């Protein structure tokens, strides 16, 4: 009853922003991401009949409090699914996601946890079903089950059985790169979960966001299929700006951007003016991710690194889906 799994994090080019069901984690809109090989989590789960509760060790440290509660609540769902509600586990995870990189380590974290728990319990399930289970830990994590370019279909059923990720194209289809620009600023104040809830409930821009998604998705998928970097970059950048615009109109209003976030955005636009195709995207935090093509890696890295307030620039290729070790 022991298994180890590895999952990579992902970055959304079309953002998941807003839930229609908070308990099952069902989104308002489809989203689309790239799985990244540079950032991953490895997790070992061992179920033991004599345990009276779960334990969770992350990067060698015992985890308690809210983070622990989220892991056990998620394992409860898997235990229930397996019909073994009283079987507890020791969970040990290692994050190869620089904590400050502003990548939701929860995406690779929940995908690795779901995959290892399911295997440890001997459940034979499809990738689709694994994505459904993973989704219930953290929405964006359901996309990390697959590698390459991945779409999370929102589904329409109330029980969430048609809300899962599907692969649009494998990692080998297209070598595009993502630079994570890590800022020296502190932790974010509004968590993504809280931020999207406030936006859905109060932002007058929210309905326009939802309405605009099918068009963005159709176009970006066409761009991915034809490897049209300009098209994919332009849609991703505009989609990101649109998502962040909804937060400015929320009540109370908020933004994830810091001064340096905007400086990086401006620098990316400068690069384009100089003929280097680069596009940015930003999740629910101040760090920026920059999309670029392999031949521009050096220029991108050195240019971004020079911006005052930037701590680090970590580059990544497209990565694979969950695997077992």
- Site residues (vs ligand DP6, CB under 6 A): 12, 15-17, 25, 31, 104, 106, 138-140, 192-193, 283-284
> Coil, strand or helix: which one is 153?
strand
With CB atoms as reference, the residue minimizing the distance to ligand DP6 is 139
Closer CB to ligand DP6, 3 or 250, in the complex: 250
Phi then psi dihedrals of residue 227, to 5 deg = 55, 45
Query: What does the angle CA 38 – CA 28 – CA 265 come to, to the nearest 5 degrees?
Result: 45
User: Considering the complex, what minimum distance in angstroms separates the CB of residue 223 from ligand DP6?
Assistant: 18
The residues, any chain, with a CB within 8 Å of residue 186's CB and separated by 6 or more, are none
Label each residue of 38-80 as H, E or C: EEEEEEEEEEECCCCCCEEEECCEECCHHHHHHHHHHHHHHHH
Q: Give the helix/strand (H/E) hosting 243.
A: helix 229-248
User: Considering the complex, what minimum distance in angstroms separates the CB of residue 86 from ligand DP6?
Assistant: 27
Pairing of strands 55-58, 61-62: antiparallel
User: Considering the complex, what minimum distance in angstroms separates the CB of residue 138 from ligand DP6?
Assistant: 3
Mark 178-213 as b/e (b = at least 16 C-beta within 10 Å).
bbbbbbebeebebebeebbbbbbeebeebeebbeeb
Q: Encoding tokens for residue 41?
A: 């989590």
How many residues can be counted in the chain?
A: 325
Spatial CA neighbour of 319 closest among 200, 192, 175, 202? 175
Closer CB to ligand DP6, 3 or 12, in the complex: 12
Closer CB to ligand DP6, 73 or 325, in the complex: 73
User: Considering the complex, what minimum distance in angstroms separates the CB of residue 286 from ligand DP6?
Assistant: 12
Closer CB to ligand DP6, 17 or 88, in the complex: 17
User: Considering the complex, what minimum distance in angstroms separates the CB of residue 282 from ligand DP6?
Assistant: 8
User: Considering the complex, what minimum distance in angstroms separates the CB of residue 302 from ligand DP6?
Assistant: 27
Closer CB to ligand DP6, 139 or 319, in the complex: 139
The answer to whether the beta carbons of residues 103 and 39 sit under 8 Å apart is yes
User: Considering the complex, what minimum distance in angstroms separates the CB of residue 275 from ligand DP6?
Assistant: 30
Closer CB to ligand DP6, 192 or 303, in the complex: 192
Closer CB to ligand DP6, 46 or 283, in the complex: 283
């Amino acid at each position: 009853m022991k298994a180890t799994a590895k999952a990579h994090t992902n970055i959304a080019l079309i953002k998941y922003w807003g839930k229609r069901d908070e308990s099952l984690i069902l989104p308002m809109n489809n989203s689309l991401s790239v799985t990244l090989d540079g950032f991953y989590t490895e997790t070992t789960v061992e179920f033991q009949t004599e345990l009276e509760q779960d334990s969770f060790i992350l990067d060698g440290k015992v985890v308690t409090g809210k983070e622990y509660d989220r892991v056990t609540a998620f394992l409860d769902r898997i235990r229930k699914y397996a019909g073994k509600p009283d079987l507890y586990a020791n969970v040990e995870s290692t994050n190869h996601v620089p904590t400050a990189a502003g990548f939701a380590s929860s995406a690779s974290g929940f995908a690795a946890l779901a995959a290892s728990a399911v295997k440890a319990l001997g459940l034979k399930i499809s990738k689709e079903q694994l994505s459904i289970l993973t989704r219930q830990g953290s929405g964006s994590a359901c996309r990390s089950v697959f590698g390459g370019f991945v779409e999370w279909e929102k589904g329409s059923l109330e029980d969430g059985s048609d809300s899962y990720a599907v692969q649009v194209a494998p990692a080998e289809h297209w070598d595009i790169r993502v630079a994570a620009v890590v800022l020296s600023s502190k932790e974010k104040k509004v968590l993504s979960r809280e931020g999207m809830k406030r936006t859905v409930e109060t932002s007058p821009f929210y309905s326009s966001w939802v309405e605009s998604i099918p068009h963005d998705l159709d176009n970006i998928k066409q761009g991915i299929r034809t490897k049209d970097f300009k098209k994919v970059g332009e849609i991703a950048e505009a989609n990101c700006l649109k998502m962040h615009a909804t937060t400015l109109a929320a009540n109370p209003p908020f933004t994830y951007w810091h001064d340096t976030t905007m400086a990086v955005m401006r620098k990316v636009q400068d690069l384009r003016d100089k003929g280097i195709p680069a596009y940015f995207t930003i999740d629910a935090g101040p760090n920026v991710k920059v999309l670029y093509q392999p031949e521009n890696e050096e220029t991108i890295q050195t240019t971004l690194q020079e911006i005052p307030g930037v701590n680090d620039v970590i580059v990544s290729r497209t990565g694979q889906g969950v695997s077992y070790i």
